[in-house]
Amino acid sequence: MKTTLKTALQEQFLAEYESSYLYLAMAAYFDQSGFSGLANWMKQQAKEELAHAMKYYDYLISRKETVTFAAIAAPKANWKSVKAVFEDAYKHEQKITASIGKLADVALDQKDHATYAFLQWFVTEQTEEENQVEDILHKLQLAGDNTVGILMLDRELGSRA
């Protein structure tokens, strides 16, 4: 594997850990704000992002590459509203989608078809992730400042396993 691609995979490995850390910070914000359902959704998202990081780890190991680790910056910890949290989550998912797209481009440019095939799962997954957060944002926009609507969403998202 060429150095450029290996470095890009390592960066994405770190980005997935950072995503997990961000979603855990969002969960903490919701737990501390009394929204246990929203916190549950974010905790599940944090676990999912950690699983994504492990896919990159396993892939690098399977290709006989060294996995490198770097420091993870502290994520944002406070937001002005439930909607603001999900707006940040949506922006973050868009950033990860763009990052994976660039990574797939590097794999194609280097004619590393195995890595390109590996990345297709992430391309599909990111579409789902963006759609999920966008759906929640839409519901929050419909609810506006209606506390009952937000509490209903909190209950709905609490059922995510």
DSSP 61-104: HHTTPPP-----PPPP---SSHHHHHHHHHHHHHHHHHHHHHHH
| pLDDT at residue 145 in the model | 86
Q: What is the CATH topology of the domain spanning 3-157?
A: Ferritin (1.20.1260)
Q: Are 29 and 41 in contact (CB under 8 A)?
A: no
33 vs 14: CA distance, rounded Å: 29
| pLDDT at residue 3 in the model | 92
97 vs 142: CA distance, rounded Å: 26
CB 30: neighbour CB atoms within 10 A? 23
pTM over 0.85: yes
Angle at 82 between CA 157 and CA 13, to 5 degrees: 75
| pLDDT at residue 111 in the model | 97
Residues of the chain with pLDDT below 70 are none
Q: Hey, is 110 helix, strand or coil? A: coil
For the chain, domain boundaries: 3-157
| pLDDT at residue 4 in the model | 94
DSSP category for residue 155? H
130 vs 11: CA distance, rounded Å: 20
Q: What are phi and psi of 56, to 5 degrees?
A: -65, -45
